[in-house]
Amino acid sequence: MVITYDFGHGTGQDRGANGYRNEEHDCREYGALVIQKLKQLGYSCYDCTPSASPALTLGQSLAYRVNKANSIGSQLHLCFHVNAFQTDKATGCEVEYASAAGQAYATKVSAEISTALGLTNRGAKSQPGLYVLKHTNMTAILVEPFFCDNKADCDKYNAEKLATAIVKGITGRTVSSQPQAVPTAQAVPNYDTSIPIGPNIFPILGKFYIELRTDGDMGIHLDRGNYITIRKGGAPVVVYNNNKGQGGSKVLF
């Protein structure tokens, strides 16, 4: 079976969650082990994660993942993420899906994660509106193995156990990592501070800029990592980043 996959967030305005742990770091850590184990079992796996540079908007990041997966024509697509809500307010593992075939995978994977890490099993969650699940042509699941803003969940995080559980849920087989091949986590790089170029970008004083977003909202940017998004019919979103490679932008509110 051909499997495509993407590690969540990690580029431009598509940033992961922060809590006791960092989503962008952790999904690349346990996700890399999942792919290693699947390759050990003989599966062909193709990465559909956009690179950190050039920095992309959220819409561009999501479209890249979907378009590349669809161009490869895999039978299964895996999205690796980490959940977040409010500090210490939510707990457990869940796997999201948009099709009957996806539900079958999601149910098994969530149950295996719950058993392996001792987490509450929130189960398979139908999320047909999520962009990647909605627009991929193949069966797809999005893995949310724990809450990075829950201390008890984070204390149970173990990349090796988590990856083994995910692979068992997908294949029914248990695979231990080869010691010499255990990957290191991918570092979260600094972002580009230059002003983007495009018909939807309007520079201000040669240093700041306004962005007309693909979803119709407006972004007022100090730079690519520090901005306010004004939304139609919704509360504004304030994002900040010190650009020191410490795990991506943080949403203030």
Question: Can you read off the two tokens belonging to residue 93?
Answer: 């593992």
Write the pLDDT tens digit of every residue in 101-125.
Answer: 999 999 999 999 999 999 999 999 9
Asked if the model's pLDDT at residue 183 lies above 60, the reply is no
Average pLDDT over residues 65-87: 97
Distance of CA 248 to the CA centre of its chain: 12
* Rounded-to-integer distance, Cα 189 and Cα 174, Å: 33
Tell whether pTM > 0.75: no
Report domain 2-181's class: alpha beta
Q: Domain ranges in the chain?
A: 2-181, 201-251
Write the pLDDT tens digit of every residue in 34-45.
Answer: 999 999 999 999
* Residue 230 near residue 220, CB atoms below 8 Å: yes
* Distance between start and end Cα atoms, the chain: 42
